[in-house]
Chain A
């Protein structure tokens, strides 16, 4: 049976056909839909949102140690969080097949960097597969489980945004039967003390040689010999772009780029007159070709930054200038926080109180944009609290107004340890937890604070204020961010305290059913409006300024923040 699937849906299908019993993930673009699809379509598989990627990988390892096939899913930067278990996992004995999906984001459509996670396969010394279409995303995910069990290794499947979010025709198969778990003990292979790990390291080195034999013979790495004047080695979506640009060239298509298929590459290089390596981001394949002493072109012409496309590849190989065609100068449409977003008023209040605002990863990062201009740092998940703490220590208490903002999902992901540190080392910073009861940026996923699992079960709901207190923070207040004057007053009080303080800014995301806004647009009384623009400084998409007056458009949801700020009471509900 044929079906149109996105790369993400195809990965989910492949895992299902491989008979997995367990899947865990933390949401992150472009990987999020994989676990959502598993939870929705394949209910025989236990799926769960983990609070972060390290937990996701470790619980998947637990399922594998019990003999079940298991999957861990994350975006590229999530693998950094999971890197600790990932680096030692290959030392241990694998029972049920275990596969890690790393979804990279060339062009940074929705990420803080464009790191090339293929390096992780080499770093951790594990096999890596790289699909170039939805069909391959399904097939390779399935194959990854076979390799994992046959060679006793974790396997990484690396996708990119253009694989994850593109759709194509996929041939479906029936799933294999799930494995029955059984309890076994393997202390010499599972307890990674120095004495055991020392014995296990040579196992990895032997395994990688065995996997190299596989990569030299597997049909995932295949030659397509046509015109021998131009030979291209490529992988992932870049292979499809190259095929589009040079359909008649000869190809060595690498579906399993690591361990590197030395023999196959030598054979291919000997067959073609000019050799090009076409890959997105880093010269991962190219460096290994060059290490074999084979001359080739690649990053001397093909950009290292951003995603590729057929035109870039065509220009690079044809010797033409590699430039993106000029676009007409048009007003842009940058992403922005929604009308009525509870983050907006809180960020506005912090900025008005002239604080430094260390930021984090979430919708509120968009508060960086003018006119709000209210985010001063954004490094990685959980970093903001620690920035504020480090600054507070070098300035000393009371010198600067140092604050950090972090969303609820990000706080559970990696803010808890930072807050513990702030309390323990007594940093004089104000931390604002922007609690909108969801993981909003990736499309409203549940987390421990929402009390509902991805499978829809109602479980424990974290008492956030209690947790903050338990971490050692004495000054804690929960406020309603739509009361912007009250928020400014509470910020002032918090900053006046000599130690660490936390404000929980609590109101549900306006995209949730539970939203706390009426939903009806407000109106501006043009006779009263003085054109002072204070409401415009909120940067709300529902507020327009024309003919020297403020106007409210139909996207307004009536959160009333602008009305509260208006000193002449020109904004109100329908009369």
Chain B
């Protein structure tokens, strides 16, 4: 299974993919994850490849082999089209963050729907950011989306919560576990 998480630096993608990786190891699978740190971080595009199976070779997902694309930001979904195949489940968090050229008034924020529809047939939107604000935990969009993702994967809710409990700092733990649970209830359409 190949899961690609995409978004913008600062949205908590690295932590979300760390949790997914840990859950899959505890579930008994081989798992590899790859992402880029360093210069690409600050407000830049972020993608994290997570792969799990009996045995995983490459830490990178081959093109056209992504099973689930979980995108934290709308435009960033379209940037990773090479990884998409016809039956990729594309889940998009309803949230837009303008890139610098859009901020400077040189370009407009693109309509990504036609780009996605060239390849993908299973495109679902989810109001993760809205729920995060509603819960008064704007930074918790990552655990909410992890909750959404967990509904598509085999491990039971208890394994996710156990893992989150072990991995989250005490101070933010209750809030984020609540966010994860609410994420599991979130309507995806």
Asked whether, in the complex, the Cβ of B43 is within 8 Å of the Cβ of A546, the reply is no
- Let me know if B181 is at the binding interface, CB within 8 A: no
- Identify the B interface with A (CB < 8 A): 8, 18, 21-22, 25, 30-45, 56-60, 62-63, 75, 78-79, 81-82, 98-105, 107, 109-110, 115
Which B residues are CB-close (under 8 A) to A336?
Answer: 42-43, 100
A330 CB within 8 Å of chain B: yes
Q: Which one of B22, B63, B101, B109 contacts A325 once the chains associate, using CB atoms below 8 Å?
A: B63
CB distance from A239 to the nearest CB of B (A): 8
Query: For B104, what are the chain A residues with a Cβ–Cβ distance below 8 Å?
Result: 371, 536, 544-545
- Whether B101 contacts A331 by the Cβ 8 Å rule is yes
Decide yes or no: A541 and B25 within 8 Å by CB, A30-B38, A165-B35, A336-B100 being known contacts. Answer: no
CB nearest to B8 among chain A residues: A333
Contacts of B62 in A (CB 8 A): 244-245, 309-311, 314
Can you list 12 A-B contacts (CB < 8 A)?
Answer: A2-B25, A165-B35, A165-B36, A167-B32, A241-B57, A333-B8, A335-B40, A335-B41, A335-B42, A335-B43, A541-B103, A545-B105
B6 to chain A, nearest CB (A): 11
The residues of A that contact B57 with a CB separation of less than 8 Å are 240-241, 243-244, 247
Please name all residues of chain B whose beta carbon is closer than 8 Å to the beta carbon of A237 when the two chains form the complex.
58-59
Let me know if A522 is at the binding interface, CB within 8 A. no
Residue A162 CB within 8 A of the other chain: yes
Asked if residues A328 and B40 are in contact (CB atoms below 8 Å), the reply is no
A264 at the interface (CB under 8 A from B): no
The contact string, 1 if C-beta is below 8 Å from chain B, for chain A 311-340, is: 100100000000011111011111110100
A456 to B88, CA, bound (A): 47
Minimum Cβ distance to chain B for residue A275 (Å): 20
Which residues of A line the B interface, CB within 8 A? 2, 4, 29-30, 33, 109-110, 133, 161-162, 165-169, 237, 240-241, 243-245, 247, 309-311, 314, 324-328, 330-336, 338, 371, 441-443, 536, 541, 543-546, 553
Q: How far is the CA of A110 from the CA of B38 in the complex (A)?
A: 7
Shortest CB-to-CB span from B2 to chain A, Å, is 11
Which B-chain residue is minimally distant from A309 (CB atoms)? B60
Given A33-B37, A167-B18; 20 other pairs, CB 8 A cutoff: A4-B22, A4-B25, A29-B37, A166-B33, A167-B21, A167-B34, A168-B59, A237-B59, A243-B57, A243-B58, A309-B58, A309-B60, A309-B63, A311-B62, A327-B81, A330-B79, A335-B39, A335-B40, A443-B38, A541-B100
Select which of A169, A240, A335, A553 is within 8 A of B30 by beta carbon: A169
Interface of B is mostly: mixed
CB < 8 Å neighbour of B98 from A240, A338, A544: A544
Residues in B with CB closer than 8 Å to A541 are 43, 100, 103
Q: Give the total number of A-B pairs whose CB atoms are below 8 A apart.
A: 140
Residues of A with C-beta under 8 A to B101: 331-332
Partner of A311, one of B38, B63, B115: B63
- Flag if A29 contacts B8 (CB, 8 Å): no
- B-chain residues with CB within 8 Å of residue A371 when the two chains form the complex: 104
Is the Cβ of A442 less than 8 Å from the Cβ of B38?
A: yes
Which residues in A have their C-beta under 8 angstroms from that of B81? 325, 327-328
**Cβ distance A171 to chain B, nearest Cβ, rounded Å:** 12
**Do the beta carbons of B79 and A327 come within 8 Å of each other?**
yes
Quote the shortest CB–CB distance from A215 to chain B (angstroms): 24
Do B42 and A331 have beta carbons less than 8 Å apart? no
The answer to whether A334 touches B44 (Cβ under 8 A) is yes
Q: Which residues of B contact A545 (CB under 8 A)?
A: 103-105
* A110→B40 contact, CB < 8 A: yes
B residues in contact with A327, CB < 8 Å = 79, 81-82
Knowing A30-B37, A336-B100, A544-B103, the reply to whether A169 touches B31 (Cβ < 8 A) is yes
Which among A29, A169, A240 has the greatest number of chain B C-beta atoms within 10 A?
Answer: A169
Q: How far is the CB of A193 from chain B (nearest CB, A)?
A: 42
Measured between beta carbons, the chain B residues less than 8 angstroms from A244 are 57-58, 62
Min CB–CB distance B10 → chain A (angstroms): 9
Residues of A within 8 A of B37 (CB): 29-30, 33, 165
List, in ascending order, chain A residues with CB within 8 A of B43's CB. Answer: 333, 335-336, 541
Query: A314 to chain B: which residues have CB within 8 Å?
Result: 62
Q: Give the docked Cα–Cα distance between A331 and B35 (Å).
A: 21
B75 touching A330, Cβ below 8 Å: yes
Known contacts A333-B44, A333-B100: does B58 contact A325 (CB below 8 Å)?
no
Complex Cα distance, B17 from A164, in Å, reads 16
Chain A nearest CB, measured from B111 CB (Å): 11
Bound form: Cα–Cα A541–B37 in Å: 20
Given A168-B32, A546-B105, are A333 and B99 neighbors across the interface (CB < 8 Å)? yes
Q: Tell me if B38 and A109 are in contact (CB < 8 A).
A: yes
Closest A residue, CB atoms, query B10: A555
Question: How near does chain B come to A551, taking the closest CB pair, in angstroms?
Answer: 9
Given A311-B62, A327-B82, decide whether A334 and B100 contact each other with a Cβ distance below 8 A: yes
State whether A325 touches B82 (Cβ < 8 A): yes
Closest 8 CB pairs of A and B: A29-B38, A244-B58, A110-B38, A166-B59, A110-B39, A325-B82, A243-B57, A331-B99
Residues on A with C-beta less than 8 A from B40 are 109-110, 335
- Cα–Cα distance between A162 and B32 once the two chains are bound (Å): 11
Closest residue of A by beta carbon distance from B97: A333
Closest to B62 in A: A310
Chain B minimum-CB-distance residue to A241: B58
**A335 adjacent to B99 (CB under 8 Å):** no
